Amino acid sequence: MDLRPYRHIAVQPIAGTIGAEVLGVDASRPLAAEVIGEIRRAFLEHLVIFLPGQKLSPQQLLAFASRFGDPMEYPQLRGLPECPLVTPVVKLEHERHNFGGVWHTDTSYLEQPPMASMLYALELPPYGGDTLFASQYAAYEALSDGLRQALDGLIGINSSAKAEVTRSREDRLREAGVQSKVLVGKHPIVRTHPETGRKALYMSLGHTVRFDGWGEDESKPLLDYLFTHQAKPEFTCRFRWSPGALAFWDNRCALHNPVNDYHGFRRIMHRVTLRGDTPT
């Protein structure tokens, strides 16, 4: 961990293992390379960072995200007509399921899942709609030596068609007239982060269906144990959104779960997804 003080931003951790608020940044303005470097350092150290009080058009959000990676299209939803690489994430008053409302890391069913995601709050319910995040470094490091050794050689099969997550996007796909394709990705259950070199669990209730070479029934007992373990409270933080808040999280070592507790209210967010590499 880099222990140098930050010179251009203020970083305030919000929990013991994951999450920090970053202050002193106006993401709508061109930022010096030194500022971008410190934001990235905070992102790598805390896995998810939150920048409150932003005022961003879709184009400004995309420009800010582009300083940290290569924006990509989301495979299951359409972007904004005026800015296709910015995806609206919407739950309307009459809808019961929210988008991605289960513990997951984004689109791990792709051969090269995204490195990171940014989510920007436009319209929020009067209460509820928080997002939980969980450190998968901490989850892996808390396992016994024997279980870590057993998991190190396993490959997970991740599917876009797992029932827990498909329910959460049915409304959006139907309204957009999109035909959903089943996508499957095979990735190590234990992933080595390409920038930090740390090991993390890389699996989730939202997408992982079994271990490669194992049947679903054989896989279920161990997967169920790990799904519960990886979201233990001591590995998590909870973010309460405010208008203009921007979250930036690392999909390679963190899970997230948007809490679906605001039925009857509208929640509108804009998201940018940053292209990643092949997990190893």
Catalytic residue among 169, 252, 256, 270: 256
Alpha-carbon distance of 50 to 67, in angstroms, equals 16
Q: Tell if the pTM clears 0.85, that is, is over it.
A: yes
- Band (pLDDT 50/70/90 cuts) for residue 243 is very high
Catalytic residue among 46, 106, 187, 191: 106
Catalytic residue among 46, 104, 172, 207: 104
Query: For this structure, is 256 an active site residue?
Result: yes
**Spatial contact of 255 and 105, defined as CB atoms under 8 Å apart:** yes
- Band (pLDDT 50/70/90 cuts) for residue 164 is low
Q: Residue for token digits 């901490």?
A: 138
The DSSP string of 107-143 is TTTSSS--SEEEEEEEE--SS---EEEEEHHHHHHTS
- Report the candidate in 202, 211, 198 with the shortest Cα–Cα distance to residue 154: 211
Catalytic residue among 172, 193, 270, 271: 271
**Cα-Cα-Cα-Cα dihedral sign, residues 77, 81, 86, 91:** negative
- Band (pLDDT 50/70/90 cuts) for residue 165 is low
- In the structure encoding, which two tokens stand for residue 111, read together? 């051969």
Residues in contact with 192: Cβ distance below 8 Å, sequence separation at least 6, in sequence order: 198, 199, 280
**Segment 111-151, tens digit of pLDDT:** 999 999 999 999 999 999 999 999 999 999 999 999 999 99
Query: For this structure, is 229 an active site residue?
Result: no
Q: Is the pLDDT of residue 177 over 60?
A: no
Domains in the chain, ordered, with CATH? 10-274 (3.60.130.10)
**Spatial contact of 235 and 84, defined as CB atoms under 8 Å apart:** no
